[in-house]
Every structure is written in structure tokens, then in C-alpha cells.
Amino acid sequence: MLRLAQALDAHLRAAMERAFPAAAQAAREVGQPLDPQLAPASKPEFGDFQANGALPLAKPLGQPPRAIATAIVEQLAADPAFAELCEPPQIAGPGFINLTLRPERLAAEVQERLGDTRLGVPSVAQEAQEAGGSGAALAPVIVDFSSPNIAKEMHVGHLRSTIIGDSLARVLEFRGHAVLRLNHVGDWGTQFGMLITHLKQVAPEALTTADAVDLGDLVAFYRQAKARFDEDEAFQTTSREEVVKLQGGDPVSRRAWQLLCDQSRREFQKIYDRLDIRLSERGESFYNPYLEGVVTDLDASGLLVTDDGARCVFLEGVSGKDGKPLPVIVQKSDGGFNYATTDLAAIRYRFGADPEGDGARRVIYVTDAGQANHFAGVFQVARRAGWIPDGGRLEHVPFGLVQGEDGKKLKTRAGDTVRLRDLLDEAVERAEADLRRRLAEEERTEDEAFIQLVATTVGLAAVKYADLSQNRITNYQFSFDRMLALQGNTAPYLLYAVVRIAGIARKGGDLGAGTSGAGPGALHFTEPQEWALVRELLKLDAVIAEVEEELLPNRLCTYLFELSQVFNRFYDQVPVLKADQPARASRLALCRLTADTLRLGLGLLGIPTLERM
Ligand code: ARG
């Protein structure tokens, strides 16, 4: 309904202009044109929208707000294009203008969406064209997500980043942005010294034979190396030397490093494949050649301070407990670089122009909220260094912790950290058990292929949806029972709504009815449940726009949940297959648009749908 809202807004502005030309002129001169303050109606009985712009005018105009509202409404009444769009406005309370769209306009919108694979959501290119833009390709948007650390466990925090980041990337891609999905893996740093030293000692053959050897469980390998590092001084010395060798490009060390990275990569990839996640790996090591440049550049712009041998930039407006400004350290006193230096180099590269850069316009980081200060710090330094072009956006998308049902950090019964593979397995197993129980109850028989497909789809969908449907900022309690429930704001509930509609088609409902060859005015709605569904369906574009801007996938989840509820109410209370024409075709069209909207929306959450379950 975004377009209709924009049209209403334009009509209201013009009406205000005609009603109060002098005030409008004065407001324009100070760069603050009169604003109708159009917003969705606070209650359905008030119509579709309300305009609150009369209220703030009371003082400057010295008139009661209701009189101002009346004058605006009179102007609206004289505008025939407005009358085509909207019922006669109502003035309510102190001077709100309530607006209800004309039913035939809403029906026409539904009609248009039935023939549109984008379901009324414009692409950025379409928008630019309509705004008379040049049609030049937009600079890319970068989503930095997942980003686990090599040789360490990919934990539930990385799973959250993976699921949220993928969904945001999908929304941006659907809107037509060029999206770079970057996996900023932790593939560099001093931990490689001990890993390589350990590798050289326990599996020297790995470094000389051509075939990659399987190092087995890398996490266990990491633990062994760390244990030796902690207790063996000679091992420590060798490890430190190994770091220097690796950084100096020693071929054997490089090969060992490569082996470790490959091994980790294979493990990560299994998770990505299962979850249908696409990512381009561009780890920390990629920015290695650019680290020196960060320091030189910061030095040249006068931001760099040497403090206790370390080179750092002191942050403005951020101070520590002692009241002194906090630094971002970019080069340690031993000359080494750190996580922040790498992120600074990454920002510089990402906003930098080709060939030494991505030329990005917006860079989005999806990590746990614990890194908020890190990002606030490097963003500030990058801005002060002048690396962010005009209009360039840097955004940290933080999320809370994953907790067990006891409210503590998620752990296995034995008290170990939960392995992602086990977590996904368990979700699928539980979905399978639920399904078998349901099939037995309903005395249905289904073949194994069906059972596996449904269990896998539902199990993984439940994990993703449970994560996405939370406001990501808050901590999130992981519960298999809750996420797999057939009722409530869950993946199974939404998937079931799609299945229900597919069932209508199987029972002989032609879901293409109302679209095929029907001209405008072919859709007829009479029941309040139909109108409620129409209005809900037409919200999709606004919801997508909001997610694109605010990067909160839970808004999309809430919308899809509400849509399913409104649909179920409609389908329970209004006959569809048993209805006579023309109601039957119109209702089937609503069913079809609901299914299309749910499929599209779930697709943007990374969740495929089923025809039966
Ligand atoms: N590897 C980091 C971690 O596991 C996340 C990296 C996020 N991205 C970034 N550009 N810093 O916590």
C-alpha cells in the first residue's frame, strides 16, 4: 500500500497548500514544508490512514485544530483524483483526519498483484526509473555475516549471525541491490603459530604429500595445541617464531596454514549447505597487505597518537572508567596489528573505489551485541579519517545471546557447548518424530521420501524462524518444543497455512481464477473477513521497505504470522469452495495471493515451503 500512501500524502500536501497558502509559503521558505503527518490508522475502525498534520498548525495559525482539519478536508473534497482514491474523510478527536481507501481501489491493487511476480514490491531500479533517475547501477551493499574463526568452533552465536545475515541479504537482493555476502572468517592471528607448530609435529606428512589429509576434529586439535602452548615453554617460543615465518610468507608455514583453513572451511561449508546459505569467503588475511596503509593514512590525517609504545586513535565522546578517552589500538607496541586494524582496513577497502576496493554504499555487520563497542570505535575512526563517502552507511546489526531454557548459556545436558551439527540434527529428528505421531493419529501413510523431506524442511525452518522472529537485540531462549509447535508464531504454523491453501487447489479450487483474463473490476468482496485479508495482503511492500531500512527480520516474521492468522480466520468463517460465483473466484484469488505472499516472505527468511506436510 506504499504507493497509495504516497499518493494520499501528495493529495494532502496539495490540499494544505490550497487551504493555507501563506502558511505553506512561509513553511517552505524555512525549508520545512507543511507535513500532513500521514500514518497508518491506529485502529481499523478509523479506516486505513490518519493524517495528524492539523494539530501542530493550531498555534502558528491561531485556529482550533478541528477548524484546520475541516479546511483541509474541504480542499480534499474539491480534488476529483482524491475522491477516486478515498472515501470522504472523517474528522475525529481534536482534529485527526481519518482516511478510508475506496473498496474498488483496494480490489484493483489486489488484481494488480495477482499478475505480478514481485507482488507489488518495486525493485530499486524501478523506483529510480520512476523518480526519473539515470538508471546507473547502484553501488553494492555489503553484508558481513557468519564469520566464524578458523580452527575454532562455529558456535550458536555464529549460527545467529548466519541466519540473520542471510535473511537481510535476501531482502536486499530481492529489492534489487547488488549484495556482496562476505564471510569475514578469522583466518589470521597469533593462534596460527601454535596450530602450525602442533601440526608440524603431529602430522608432518600433511605438509609434503599432495592430498589434503583429514585432520579430523579441528576443535579438538585446537585444544591440544593450546594445552601444549600453555604448559611447554619451548613450544611457545617455536609458536612465536612460526607467526613471524607465516607473516613473512615462508612456504611451508603457508602450506600448513592453508591446510588448517581448508579443513575448517569444509566443516563450515557443511553447515552452509544444509541451511542453503551462500557466502563469499574473504577472511581477515585478505586485508593483510592493507594494514600498513591504515597506519600511514591515520598518521597522515593527524589522528594517530603513540601511547605506551602502542599506536592508537583516541575516541571522541567515549571515555573509560577513569574518565579518560578510550583508544582504538591500531598497532601494538611489538608492531603487531589486531582485530580493529583489520576491520579498519576492511572499511577502507569496502568503501574504496575499484580496483583496490568494492565501492560500497552501505556496509552491514551482523555480530553479537558484545562487539558493539568495537564497531562503534572503528566506525568513528573510519569516519574521522574520511574513508566514508557522502551518503555511505556503516551499520552494526547486533543480536543478543542464545540461551538455554534455563536462561543460561546454551549447553548440552553434559554441560558442553552445543555443536551446530547436533543442534540441526536434533531439530530434524524431533520434527520427524512429531510428523510420525501426527501421521499415526490421522491414520495416514506416507512414503519415506515424503517423511524425510517434511522433517528436514520443518526442522530447519523451525530453527531459522525461531531465531528470526525474535527482536534480535534481546537474548533469545532456545527451545525445540516452542519452535516446533504447530500453533503460535512458529515456522510450522506458517508452513501449515501454505499447505492449507495448496489443499484448496487439490480439492478442485482453481487458484488462478480471478486472474486469468479477468479485467479490472472482476474481483468482488463483500465480507469483513475478505476486506481484512485484502488489507493485510497489501501491507507487504511497506513491511519489506521497513526491513530494508531497519534491518529487523522479525518485522517480516510478525507480518507473515498476522497474515496467516487473518487468512485462517477468513478461511474458517467464509465459504470458499462452496461459494457461488463471483464470490468463489474472488476468494480463490485471495487464497492464491496469500500463498504467494507467504512463499515470497518465507523465501526471504531463507525458508522453503511445502505443498503437503
Ligand atoms: N570472527 C568474528 C567472531 O567470531 C566475527 C567477525 C565479524 N566481522 C567483522 N568484520 N569483524 O567473533
Name the residue with the closest Cα to ligand 1, atom 9.
184
Distances in Å between the Cα of 189 and the Cα atoms of 244, 245, 339 are: 11, 12, 9
Question: Same structural domain for residues 69 and 52?
Answer: yes
Q: What is the mean pLDDT of the chain?
A: 93
Name the residue with the closest Cα to ligand 1, atom 4.
148
pLDDT of the residue at 145: 98
| d(CA 364, ligand 1 centre) in Å | 12
**Does residue 471 sit in helix, strand or coil?**
coil
| d(CA 459, ligand 1 centre) in Å | 27
pLDDT of the residue at 517: 47
Would the CB of 149 count as within 6 Å of ligand 1? yes
What is the residue type of 288? Answer: N
pLDDT band at 522 (very low <50, low <70, confident <90, very high): confident
Question: Same structural domain for residues 552 and 521?
Answer: yes
Distances in Å between the Cα of 360 and the Cα atoms of 354, 356, 507 are: 10, 12, 50
CA atoms within 13 A on the CB side of 432: 14
pLDDT of the residue at 132: 82
pLDDT band at 427 (very low <50, low <70, confident <90, very high): very high
Residue 582, exposed/middle/buried by CB under 10 A (0-12, 13-18, 19+)?
middle
Question: Same structural domain for residues 319 and 425?
Answer: no
CA-nearest of 164, 183, 216, 154 to 420 is 154
511 found inside a domain: yes
Quote the crossing angle between the two packed helices 540-550 and 2-19, to the nearest 10°. 90
For β-strands 179-183 and 280-281, DSSP reports them as parallel
Pocket test for ligand 1, best of 154, 181, 371 (most atoms within 8 A of CB): 371
- pLDDT tens track for 541-596: 999 999 999 999 999 999 999 999 999 999 999 999 999 988 999 999 999 999 99
- Residue 64 belongs to a domain with what CATH number? 3.30.1360.70
Would the CB of 367 count as within 6 Å of ligand 1? yes
Question: Same structural domain for residues 374 and 456?
Answer: no
Cα separation, 237 vs 246, in Å, equals 14
Say whether pLDDT at 156 is over 60.
Answer: yes
Would the CB of 147 count as within 6 Å of ligand 1? yes
Question: Same structural domain for residues 467 and 542?
Answer: no
Question: Same structural domain for residues 505 and 572?
Answer: yes
Ligand 1 nearest-atom number relative to CA 365? 8
CA-nearest of 124, 128, 127, 162 to 140 is 124
- pLDDT tens track for 344-375: 999 999 999 878 899 999 999 999 999 999 99
| d(CA 346, ligand 1 centre) in Å | 12
Cα separation, 520 vs 441, in Å, equals 46
Ligand 1 nearest-atom number relative to CA 186? 1
- Neighbouring C-beta atoms of residue 278, cutoff 10 Å: 12
Domain span holding position 437: 420-483
Name the residue with the closest Cα to ligand 1, atom 7.
147
Would the CB of 377 count as within 6 Å of ligand 1? no
279 found inside a domain: no
Name the residue with the closest Cα to ligand 1, atom 11.
343
528 found inside a domain: yes
Residue with cell 586439535: 221
128 found inside a domain: yes
Pocket test for ligand 1, best of 146, 180, 184 (most atoms within 8 A of CB): 184
Tell me what the mean pLDDT of segment 492-504 comes to. Answer: 96
- Residue 532 belongs to a domain with what CATH number? 1.10.730.10
pTM: 0.94
Q: How many domains does the chain have?
A: 5
Burial 50-74 (b: 16+ CB within 10 A, else e): bbbbbbebbeebebebbebbbbbbe
Residue 488, exposed/middle/buried by CB under 10 A (0-12, 13-18, 19+)?
exposed
| d(CA 145, ligand 1 centre) in Å | 8
pLDDT of the residue at 330: 96
Cα separation, 590 vs 201, in Å, equals 67
Q: Which residues lie across from 550 on neighbouring strands? A: none
pLDDT band at 514 (very low <50, low <70, confident <90, very high): low
pLDDT of the residue at 215: 65
